[in-house]
Amino acid sequence: VVIAVSPACPTCALQGRPSLECQALSPSVPMSGSPPPEQICRSSPDDPGHKQCLEREFPFRGWIQHAELRGITLEQLLRVYHFADSDCPLWHKSDGGSTRLSIDTITLHDIHDWVVTPATVAKDCAFVELLSSVEQRPEWFISHSWKESLRTFLGCLHEHVLLRKAASSETWDVSAADRLAVYWVKAFAIRQGDDDDDASFGRALGLCMGVLLIVGGERSP
């Protein structure tokens, strides 16, 4: 089974349902596209202060032996989003430039550079092992472009939950239980030093009930 999903409507107009921005990704404080002038941009993802923030937010939980069982839930992905929302105004593109990042445009590449890699390098662990110490068998295998924004990526997952729920009930509300749906996303499941990631990729695909193809937006392939 392959399901292609586009992001939720940002204007809350899609069939009268609350959009992702209004429901799942509402920050605790107003979002800002640029940091206050007194804030200093982090020098790099290896900045000691940045790594300390990551360690506090995502402490190591435990080893999960098999990469194909390192699924990640929507709830856990939302933790990554909210951390990025609060901290990414201090980040910049990892291309040697000085362009500041914002929660509206930050991509999965940026999350890999500024969150996944610096948070896991010390333990040489998978990012999922900073979120759970128990196996999380995936239900859906994610196929996506690394260039899409984090907001678009999560918007598509949120829309996927809504569409599947609508097939079995009359409500469009996303409950806490719905946010426990487990997805397999390579960036979060693979340890940086793994040499069998292709094999893990195939095993994860075999465990899932289907493939979720993320489409839509100007950054899609």
pTM of the model: 0.79
SS3 for the chain, per residue?
CEEEECCCCCCCCHHHCCCCCCCCCCCCCCCCCCCCCCCCCCCCCCCHHHHHHHHHHCCCCCCCCCHHHECEEHHHHHHHHHHHHHHHHHCECCCCCCCECCCCCCEHHHHHHHHHHHHHCCCCCCHHHHCCCCCECCCEEEECCCCCEHHHHHHHHHHHHHHHHHCCCCCCCCCCCHHHCEEECHHHHCCCCCCCHHHHHHHHHHHCCEEEEECCCCCCC
pLDDT value at residue 4:
60
pLDDT value at residue 66:
94
Task: Average pLDDT across each block of 10 residues of the chain; the chain has 221 residues. List them in order.
Answer: 54 38 44 47 87 96 96 94 93 76 91 96 96 95 88 88 67 63 93 78 92 69 42
pLDDT value at residue 11:
34
pLDDT value at residue 145:
83
